[in-house]
Structure 1
Amino acid sequence: MIVDDRLRTPDAVRDAQRWTAHNYHPLPVVISSAEGAWLTDVDGRRYLDFLAGYSALNFGHRHPRLIAAAHAQLDRLTLTSRAFVHDQFADFCRELAELCGKDLVLPMNTGAEAVETAIKVARKWGYRVKGVPDGQATIVVAEGNFHGRTTTIVGFSTDPDAHDDFGPYTPGFRIVPYGDLDALSAAIDDTTVAVLIEPIQGEQGVVVPPEGYLPGVRRVCTERDVLLLADEIQSGLGRTGDTFACDHEGVVPDMYLLGKALGGGIVPVSAVAADADVLGVLRPGQHGSTFGGNPLACAVGTEVVRLLATGEFQHRSTELGARLHAGLHELVGEGLVAVRGRGLWAGLDIDPALMTGRQACERLAERGVLAKDTHGSTIRLAPPLVVTEAEIDEALTQLAAVLAG
């Protein structure tokens, strides 16, 4: 239904471009409301959300339990800073630690902050526990990584858009090919304090490593006295069909890096979870955040953990993900070159002779499905875990129509 005599979208897009730095290239869609897996724009047109805020909306838009938790907390207390303890803090940290099977949690706000926290903790652990000489700690990372946008993190990105023109870069990182266990092992020496890795590389196009790679990384880290830091900011919290992507191969990292879905699509919430012999190296005044672990974030985050504790959303991701991937594989050779992923998460390589990923997303949007391109002719699909079979089928139908031209 059109809600105005003329379309509002063009003016809204133009105003956004006028008043903001152009660090994003969004589709020309202006969202005004949402519910579940559906978005509605300023002109009343509805879209299926098959991006889910890069997995920040695993539980869909405005999940009733999450909205209720936020409303209740807004009426009581929203911020104290960590100078004091508030009544939501302990429950959030305890329940998240139990979900992760770890002793301790350190809450922050954004995914990049979780990664920065992990880097700092790993270095301090290396100096205080492993005995690495001061200032010499190294961390092994993978090509194609995406861990955030801070100056430290982009320094070890291999994506020119993320990396170039932001130096000088922080030293201490060694980059190896993703999925190459021999290269990773060879990069470790007595100065290495950690391996920082995504169990599935999201921004790279939902790249799943070879079978046995993650257990191999775990084994090498254990043998060489190196921390395994698993960046589950996109892949964790039900997205792949297990609570964590590492679970698929029985791998337990030394530290989980969490974010995105932890805030329920309402507030930015991130955290790292590890045992006391790792996170216990921090002392008061050595790391913190004004908003990290605030009452509103903890109230919402606790409800997120409780939603995951039942296993319902992990099960949905497994069952509905199988339906999604079966439909996508039918399109290989019909415009798709390859399909990757796990659970309700997929990377699709479109035949570059047909169109770019951007063009595919624009055409999908015209047909009422929102997705995101990356790296040329690749697009990513990550519907919220509340999506239905009928909604998956509708998205597949529209994708097939786009590929058919």
Structure 2
Amino acid sequence: MSTLPLRPGLAGETPYGAPELDVPARLNVNENPYPPSQAVIDDIAEAVRAAAARLNRYPDREFPALREALADYLAVESGVRLPWQQLWAANGSNEVMLHILQAFGGPGRVCLSFTPTYSMYPEYARDTLTEYVALERRQDFTLDVEAVRAAIATHHPAVILLASPNNPTGTALGPEELHAVLDAARGCGPTGHDGAPTDAVVVVDEAYGEFRRPGVPSALELLAGHPHLAVSRTMSKAFGMAGLRLGYLAASRQLIDALRVVRLPYHLSAVSQAAALAALAHRDELMSQVARLRDERDATVAWLREQGHTAVESDANFVLFGPFEDRQAIFESLLERGVLVRVVGPDGYLRVCMGTPSQMEAFRCALTAVTRP
């Protein structure tokens, strides 16, 4: 057997992934539980059929039609109107994040984040040979602003990754926290190629942004005054299009142009572009599910607290709850009853994402059964 020249840092690593099990209530990967309607399916199928007639040609590298449609959607969802040149898209927000680290990270540079948070962030850094530095959040999962300022001044990060709402806690950044990070990042990035100071790129990952409660602002509102800010979104969650793999990002044209340099040629297939455009044409129908899932989330938080559990207030489509002396045993007992949740986050806690009413009833019955004295 030959010995392969595996890159240092990858020895012993395993691929990312959550359990994919066929159970009645699969509530572990924060998917939208509602499949697309027949009208959405038909329009996507027709769009893909039309694209198939041109598959002998490469797709449009710049995909302006899709970027324009995404800009139209954000204008409705958040009230922020952007030109299409300030939007970028890729195969899931994972690839968007990888583009950011490819463009601004690399050897000798630092990516700063705050735990507990999305478990893929250190992998983006690892894959781009960027040093990953993580600070702990406070007990209530907010940021210690003074500690953040000190860390930025010490490490001069190229990229700062902030999930809001945060995964796995569901907590959203407060305006004062985000303003503090953006201000501290000014002039505190790594030294540029010309020897001059740079601004650290602040990425606010709003994968669950559509689920935020009324009155919780989007970071999109701050783009105009902060060219070093980037706001990431996805069609996987609120849109119920996880299988489409379409993530996108809003930022200054200067930042977007940097991502265009590192993307692979024709990285978004013609089929992906066509399917995403067809789905976006049904944005009102697809987004109508969000209010239903918000209500389910709030009811789940209230129910968990009534049962004596700690449930973290959430602006996402999931709830972090616990603590349990042996969370693995609780997880396995729920699974035996056909309910799959996620073992993630602080010790003792589990995360459940919102499902259909029948799936959530199954979750409540199963949790009651396995935690009953």
TM-score by length of 1: 0.66
Q: In the alignment, which residue of structure 1 is the partner of 2:366?
A: 398
Q: Could you say if the C-alpha distance between residues 248 and 404 of structure 1 is closer, same or farther in structure 2, counting changes exceeding 3 Å?
A: farther
What displacement does 1:185 show? 1.3
Q: Could you say if the C-alpha distance between residues 196 and 312 of structure 1 is closer, same or farther in structure 2, counting changes exceeding 3 Å?
A: same
**CA distance in structure 2 between the aligned counterparts of 1:400 and 1:144, rounded to whole angstroms:** 27
2:368 aligns to what SS in structure 1? helix
The reply on whether 1:327 has 2:299 as its aligned counterpart is no
1:277 aligns to what SS in structure 2? helix
Identify the match of residue 254 of structure 2 among 259, 271, 277.
Answer: 277
Identify the match of residue 73 of structure 2 among 99, 108, 114.
Answer: 99
What displacement does 1:303 show? 4.4
Q: 1:45-60, aligned counterparts within 5 Å?
A: 47-51=24-28, 54-55=29-30, 57-58=31-32, 60=34
Question: Which segments of 5 or more consecutive residues in structure 1 lack a partner in the other structure?
Answer: 1-20, 32-40, 42-46, 125-134, 156-168
CA RMSD of aligned residues (A): 4.0
Q: Which aligned segments of 4 or more residues in structure 1 are displaced greater than 6 angstroms? A: none
Q: In the alignment, which residue of structure 1 is the partner of 2:332?
A: 362
**CA distance in structure 1 between the aligned counterparts of 2:57 and 2:103, rounded to whole angstroms:** 19
Q: In the alignment, which residue of structure 1 is the partner of 2:112?
A: 140
**CA distance in structure 1 between the aligned counterparts of 2:313 and 2:122, rounded to whole angstroms:** 28
Q: In the alignment, which residue of structure 2 is the partner of 1:117?
A: 99
Could you tell me whether the CA contact under 8 Å between 1:105 and 1:272 is conserved in 2? Answer: yes
Q: In the alignment, which residue of structure 1 is the partner of 2:322?
A: 349
Q: Could you say if the C-alpha distance between residues 381 and 82 of structure 1 is closer, same or farther in structure 2, counting changes exceeding 3 Å?
A: farther
2:25 aligns to what SS in structure 1? strand
Q: In the alignment, which residue of structure 1 is the partner of 2:342?
A: 372
**CA distance in structure 1 between the aligned counterparts of 2:303 and 2:279, rounded to whole angstroms:** 30
**CA distance in structure 1 between the aligned counterparts of 2:119 and 2:87, rounded to whole angstroms:** 19
TM-score by length of 2: 0.70
Number of residue-to-residue matches in the alignment: 327
The reply on whether 1:255 has 2:230 as its aligned counterpart is yes
What displacement does 1:383 show? 1.9
Q: In the alignment, which residue of structure 1 is the partner of 2:167?
A: 202
Give the counterpart letter for 1:200 in structure 2.
P
Q: Could you say if the C-alpha distance between residues 93 and 24 of structure 1 is closer, same or farther in structure 2, counting changes exceeding 3 Å?
A: closer
2:302 aligns to what SS in structure 1? helix
Question: Which segments of 5 or more consecutive residues in structure 2 lack a partner in the other structure?
Answer: 1-13, 75-79, 138-142, 189-198
Deviation digits for residues 132-164 of structure 1, max 9, x if unmatched?
A: xxx765443223333527854248xxxxxxxxx
Among all aligned residue pairs of Structure 1 and Structure 2, give the percentage whose two residues are the same amino acid: 13
**CA distance in structure 2 between the aligned counterparts of 1:93 and 1:292, rounded to whole angstroms:** 14
Q: In the alignment, which residue of structure 1 is the partner of 2:277?
A: 302
Deviation digits for residues 12-36 of structure 1, max 9, x if unmatched?
A: xxxxxxxxx8976737x4x3xxxxx
Q: Could you say if the C-alpha distance between residues 144 and 246 of structure 1 is closer, same or farther in structure 2, counting changes exceeding 3 Å?
A: farther
What displacement does 1:264 show? 0.4
**CA distance in structure 1 between the aligned counterparts of 2:341 and 2:177, rounded to whole angstroms:** 29
1:401 aligns to what SS in structure 2? helix
Deviation digits for residues 253-277 of structure 1, max 9, x if unmatched?
A: 8212234336703232222222313
Give the counterpart letter for 2:321 in structure 1.
L
Q: 1:159-174, aligned counterparts within 5 Å?
A: 170-174=129-133
Q: In the alignment, which residue of structure 1 is the partner of 2:140?
A: none
Could you tell me whether the CA contact under 8 Å between 2:36 and 2:240 is conserved in 1? Answer: no
**CA distance in structure 2 between the aligned counterparts of 1:215 and 1:366, rounded to whole angstroms:** 46
**CA distance in structure 2 between the aligned counterparts of 1:191 and 1:228, rounded to whole angstroms:** 12
Could you tell me whether the CA contact under 8 Å between 1:58 and 1:239 is conserved in 2? Answer: no
**CA distance in structure 1 between the aligned counterparts of 2:248 and 2:18, rounded to whole angstroms:** 29
2:343 aligns to what SS in structure 1? strand
Could you tell me whether the CA contact under 8 Å between 2:164 and 2:206 is conserved in 1? Answer: yes
**CA distance in structure 1 between the aligned counterparts of 2:187 and 2:351, rounded to whole angstroms:** 36
Could you tell me whether the CA contact under 8 Å between 1:81 and 1:290 is conserved in 2? Answer: no
**CA distance in structure 2 between the aligned counterparts of 1:80 and 1:348, rounded to whole angstroms:** 47
What displacement does 1:172 show? 4.7
Q: Could you say if the C-alpha distance between residues 210 and 255 of structure 1 is closer, same or farther in structure 2, counting changes exceeding 3 Å?
A: closer
**CA distance in structure 1 between the aligned counterparts of 2:121 and 2:220, rounded to whole angstroms:** 29
Give the counterpart letter for 1:331 in structure 2.
Q
**CA distance in structure 1 between the aligned counterparts of 2:130 and 2:219, rounded to whole angstroms:** 33
Q: In the alignment, which residue of structure 2 is the partner of 1:164?
A: none
Could you tell me whether the CA contact under 8 Å between 1:80 and 1:294 is conserved in 2? Answer: no
The reply on whether 1:64 has 2:38 as its aligned counterpart is yes
Q: In the alignment, which residue of structure 2 is the partner of 1:128?
A: none
1:146 aligns to what SS in structure 2? coil
Deviation digits for residues 22-64 of structure 1, max 9, x if unmatched?
A: 976737x4x3xxxxxxxxx6xxxxx13323xx23x32623543
